[in-house]
Amino acid sequence: MRKRNWRLIVVGGVLLVLAVLFFLSMRDMTPWSNDPGALMRTVGEVSGAVGGISIVMIVFGLIGRKAPAG
């Protein structure tokens, strides 16, 4: 039986929420930017990378580790 790593699951979930909030909050700032396309490309790359890392953390947390044999 495997034991889930709840710390990884919670931190991954928090990072996923922060990535979405970062993307949405920066989307509201594009009207004041000199180059909105470049801004959103950069914001999309950053939030996508953080979102990807968080999904990997959630998956590894759900897989878990072997429970002690005792």
Tally of domains within the chain: 1
Q: What is the pLDDT of residue 54?
A: 97
Nearest to 50 by CA among 25, 22, 19: 19
C-alpha distance across the termini of the chain, in Å: 12
Structural domain containing residue 46: 6-63
pLDDT tens per residue, range 25-70: 998 888 898 999 999 999 999 999 999 999 999 999 999 888 777 6
Residue 10 domain-assigned (yes or no): yes
Q: What is the pLDDT of residue 70?
A: 63
CA distances (Å), origin 56, targets 12, 32, 42, 45, 61: 8, 34, 21, 16, 8
The C-alpha atoms of residue 17 and residue 37 are separated, in whole angstroms, by 23
Residue 24 domain-assigned (yes or no): yes
Full-model pTM: 0.85
Q: What is the pLDDT of residue 67?
A: 77
Contact 60, 4 (CB under 8 A): no
Residue 54 domain-assigned (yes or no): yes
